[in-house]
Structure 1
């Protein structure tokens, strides 16, 4: 569906595009890149998938994906760096803060994990996944 949507949008003259259409195109293209990267990774080509993602413009979604992959392979240095990239752009990004918390826990640094958790912005509308991650970290 994403490919069909992009093909349709690309058939429109660029002069007719507004900011919303451009944002949609950017999101659809990003989705395609992430889908391709995930397929590469699932087929055992994680290094190739990472290289492809690193060629993209700076993106929170991509940095969080790279951080998650690094964390899954227990490369805590790379995971920490990717989460920090997100926090440089978005200092209150809950996924990055929780990711760093989980990295600290996995590395055995509970004091640092508590410190990260304290940075988490208070919110009443946190997703169930965020609530689960907070509870696991506590």
Structure 2
């Protein structure tokens, strides 16, 4: 996470589940996402149970899941929350912890908003502003604040 603090976010790529030509809501259909910052490989976010895993990795290709639908991979689209991030600078980040050892999420401080990204009970939490009450925010990872 530290290598992208202070970086400009140029794009967000999402992997979403589609079924019958439709997808669920913002967090319901989201499988993975990648934050593309200037000068670094994409940062992939993967939620699993009560843990958020971040790693530098390229987006994977779309794929068909037969009777279960398909996974489409492409740019974040409005009105989804992640589509509001490109063009902004990441000022800082803080790990969010729940009841498990690995971090449950991260609080991203951009130049225009704070974004909570977490995985709780195998469900994405994506929201601006406040961290859910069952979670705790650690110290900032950047050099300031």
TM (normalized to structure 1)? 0.26
Q: Radius of gyration: which is bigger? A: 1
More strand by share: 2
TM (normalized to structure 2)? 0.26
More helix by share: 1
